[in-house]
Amino acid sequence: MIVAANFKTNKTRKETVEYLKELKTIDFENVKVAVFPPQTALTEDDLIGAQNAYPTVNGAYTGEIGLEQLNEFNIKRILIGHSERRHILGETQEFIAEKFNFFKENGFEIFYCIGEPLEIRKKGIDAVIEYLKNQFRGIDLEYEKLIVAYEPVWAIGTGVSASIDEIRATHAEIRKFTSKPILYGGSVKLNNIEDIIKIKNVDGVLVGSASLDVNVFKQMIKKAKENK
Ligand SMILES: O=C[C@H](O)COP(=O)(O)O
């Protein structure tokens, strides 16, 4: 079971250091925990992954960080394809696939995010799967260090997750494309995590806003331990 926190554009470096110190007061046991802080908070810590990086060792990419900067902190974990990078920052599937392959070639553990917008969901599961298949273009779905995160865009940040039936059906379809872990993300909270992680083909969660409170995130990990 994997329980990951995506801080997005929240928390300072100081707050992240304090968060990690408090988080480590509990025994994770068999739960794999990951934390994706803002770039300014990157540090050498086994829990840490980068929310983003440019597919380059170094170079003239103003405002970006590359492998050279991640190597400084021995970071070997990265989020790729998050819906906010696709729909707010405008990353194309071609660029996302280029990024995936660069960090695959450099041995990174990749949390690869997919998810459909509401207008696609409203057309039914077949339309959803066709949309997700497009987000698999150029991606090695059997890469040994791949972790897929299914995050329906319409459930992100809304406080209302996809329904149990929607998660069950969609993860069952995604399972047909990959044998690797499949996480659910999209308004995972303390009051729904147990129901979500019990679903077949749900191998963990990627938590945004609810993870910002370290005590809530600790309780989520405890629930994951109890429902392994
Ligand atoms: O990466 C995390 C997802 O975007 C979910 O965010 P959320 O838990 O705030 O809905």
pLDDT digits (tens, 9 = 90+) for 32-89: 999 999 999 999 999 999 999 999 999 999 999 999 999 999 999 999 999 999 999 9
Over residues 197-201, the mean pLDDT reads 98
- Cα of 186 vs centre of ligand 1, distance in Å, is 5
ipTM: 0.99
Neighbouring CB atoms inside 10 A of 60's CB total 6
Is-contact 85 76, C-beta < 8 A? no
**Measuring CA to CA, how many Å separate 10 from each of 5, 15, 40, 43, 57?**
11, 9, 10, 16, 26
- For residue 52 and ligand 1, the question of a CB distance below 6 A is answered with no
Total domains, the chain: 1
| SS3 at position 33 | strand
Per-residue confidence band for 227, with pLDDT thresholds at 50, 70 and 90: confident
Residues 6+ apart with CB under 8 A from 173: 125, 128, 129, 132
Which amino acid is present at 63?
Answer: G
- For residue 114 and ligand 1, the question of a CB distance below 6 A is answered with no
- For residue 161 and ligand 1, the question of a CB distance below 6 A is answered with no
Rounded to two decimals, what is the model's pTM?
0.98
Query: What domain range is 218 assigned to?
Result: 2-227
Among 70, 76, 73, 166, smallest CA distance to 115 is for: 166
Residues 6+ apart with CB under 8 A from 221: 3, 26, 28, 31, 33
Output the known binding site for substrate: 6-8, 157, 187
State which ligand 1 atom lies nearest to the alpha carbon of 186.
10
Which CATH number do you get for residue 17? Answer: 3.20.20.70
pLDDT digits (tens, 9 = 90+) for 137-165: 999 999 999 999 999 999 999 999 999 99
Distance in angstroms (rounded) separating the CA atoms of residues 138 and 93: 8
How is residue 95 written in tokens? 């660029």
In three state form, how does the secondary structure of 141-198 look?
A: CCCCCEEEEECCHHHCCCCCCCCHHHHHHHHHHHHCCCCCCEEEECCCCCCCHHHHHC
